[in-house]
Amino acid sequence: MRFRVIAVLVVLGVIAAACGNSKSSKAAKTTTTAGGGTVAVNEPGVTDTEIRVGGIASINNPLNQNYGAIYDGVDAYFEMVNSAGGIYGRKLKLVARRDDQLANGKSEAEGLLAQDNPFVALPIAELLFTASDVLAKANIPTFGWNVNKEWTGPPNFFEQEGALCFDCPGVGLPWLAKKIGKKKLGVLAYSVEQSSDCAKGIKASFDKYPVATIAWDDRTLPFSSATDFSTDVKKMKDAGVDMVTTCMDQNGVLGVTREMKKQGLDVVQYLPNAYDHDFMASYGDLFEGAYVRTRFAPFETTPQPPGLKLFDKWMKKTGKKEVEISYVGWIDADMFVTGLKAAGKNFTRQKIVDALNKLTDYNADGILPGLDWTKQHGDPHLDQYKTPEDCSAMTQIKNKKFVPVFNQPGKPFICFPDASRAPTVPDAPTNKA
């Protein structure tokens, strides 16, 4: 299912109350210098010795999450490249680490372009992607964290996963329910659009693949730290629900889980957005047996794909913490360097955009299941932008740890045909490296 439960839905609740043809990039392990000297490049942010980039993140945010860690992944990747001499005789340099403080993305983007003058916008990790119009209009190659519908469309936008579809049907969740023998689902969501659309997608999935029924569906919950889940949990218990999935933030999921424990509703949970080691270290005992989905190879993958090995090595070398958002920063930096190399010594912004948009299976050296940039910019509701497969990795919470499941050695991803191409739930997914 091409949707993701995103943290921005929580922010929207806060605001409402106040008023988410390269098979790999193996070349990124080495650098390319311009033989015979540096080739002159007349582009913003490029000097004879540096290629300068700058980003925007929601560093100060009402969720108190460290989205600024996306810069850590970029730092580690650039350190790897620069330690081997840089690229085209130049070092990569992150010169701007702007903080949109949640709502100032547009003004920060304007300042980024006018004052910092970077070659590309890298990385972007906004909860509300209000910088999108400015960056799209400037046609500057933009690399970041996709949890917003604004990433869909502009051909100069490149992120760790392609265009999102919150309300599209998918095969993965019905397959999981069938695989573990669950027949009655409970689905909970906030009333804000991203959350309720996610619940619509779950309903659409089980309408198309009726291997289980949705016994309780509530998309009207208000976002509030004081939200009372007791009625919903009682309704799910009375309905005989044996599996629960939510389209909510971690605090909401925690509140639901605590209420389920209180009322003795002991069921399996599916958590599409909970790959957070600190969170599970604190609360993992409440989520024992829950399934967590990621669109990247989890840190626990064995054997590690080459890209994950490099990430682990250079995050440790630079003293950075390995978390999901720093992983995204690493992927963004790798994608940028992949485009830079494909553009050649006489690189320009447009050459990088054009080169990346020819890639049909970019996988960050095994970290991703593969992005087809000839399709991933477009609205996935439309047939021409649908991809043949929907791939992700699955882990299960065991003793507060993320344990990969349904995978094979060296093949962390499970892949299903796109819902438009799968008349029934497959008996088994395809495993993919």
Tens of pLDDT, residue by residue over 337-381, are: 999 999 999 999 999 999 999 999 999 999 999 999 999 999 888
Q: What is the predicted pLDDT for the residue at 250?
A: 87
**Contact between residue 164 and residue 194 where contact means Cβ atoms under 8 Å apart:** no
Tens of pLDDT, residue by residue over 282-297, are: 999 999 999 999 999 9
User: Rounded to two decimals, what is the model's pTM?
Assistant: 0.92
Give mean pLDDT, residues 214-218: 98
pLDDT at 9 > cutoff 60:
no
**Contact between residue 244 and residue 186 where contact means Cβ atoms under 8 Å apart:** yes
User: Taking the CA atoms of the chain, what radius of gyration do you get in angstroms?
Assistant: 21
Q: Say which residue, 331 or 272, is predicted with more confidence.
A: 331
User: Average model confidence (pLDDT) for the chain?
Assistant: 91
pLDDT at 35 > cutoff 50:
no
Distances (CA, A) of 195 to 121, 122, 166, 178, 229: 28, 28, 8, 24, 16
pLDDT at 3 > cutoff 70:
no
Q: What is the predicted pLDDT for the residue at 420?
A: 85
Architecture of domain 31-161+302-384: 3-Layer(aba) Sandwich (3.40)
CATH 3.40.50.2300 domain range(s) in the chain: 31-161+302-384, 172-294+388-432
Q: What is the predicted pLDDT for the residue at 19?
A: 40
Give me the CATH topology for the region 172-294+388-432.
Rossmann fold (3.40.50)
Closest CA to 52 of 113, 117, 2: 117
